[in-house]
Amino acid sequence: MVTVTEKAATQLKEILSKSGKSEANTALRLAVKDEGCGSHGTNLAYQMELTDATPAASDQLFDNAGIKVLVDSNSLKYLSGLTLDFVETPTASGFVFKNPQAKHSCGCGNTFSAQEKPKGEGCGSGGGESKGGCC
């Protein structure tokens, strides 16, 4: 299961509206690619794309908060349980991945590792926890 929060859905609908794409015919494709911040111990990267809502044979389709989400079967093992949120702070705003499959995340929040890192390795040498400044 992949969940989209109301805040993320609102932001995605705004992006769709500005792009002229139809909610009915467009889906958010979430994927994982093997191209993370390797020097920081995060070898996987999240990818998001607005695409045609027709799923491929290997896709899982999730529909929540009015947003269709497509995830290919290879990525699903890394994204199962993921929540996509949108956060606004005084200095920045953007989509945030809350992923129970991520054992270690880079400070940028866009790359992760799905396996435990030995203590003392990883971003900021923080014992496998992100300390920021990776990307």
Q: Give the CATH number of domain 3-125.
A: 2.60.300.12
Question: What are the two backbone dihedrals, phi and then psi, of residue 9, each rounded to the nearest 5 degrees?
Answer: -65, -45
Domain boundaries in the chain? 3-125
Radius of gyration of the chain (CA): 15
Token pair, residue 108, equals 């940028």
d(CA 67, CA 65) in angstroms, rounded, equals: 6
Give how far the C-alpha of residue 8 lies from the chain's centroid of Cα atoms, to the nearest Å: 11
**What pLDDT is recorded for position 8?**
96
Give how far the C-alpha of residue 2 lies from the chain's centroid of Cα atoms, to the nearest Å: 10
Per DSSP, 14 falls in state H
Question: Residue 67: is it exposed, middle or buried by C-beta count within 10 angstroms (0-12/13-18/19+)?
Answer: buried
Q: Is the full-model pTM beyond 0.85?
A: no
* Alpha helical stretches, state H, 30-130: 73-79
Token pair, residue 67, equals 């947003």
**What pLDDT is recorded for position 39?**
52
pLDDT tens over the chain, length 135 residues: 899 999 999 999 999 999 988 888 999 999 988 765 555 555 788 889 999 888 889 999 999 889 999 999 989 988 889 999 999 989 888 898 888 877 756 555 555 557 543 333 444 433 333 333 444
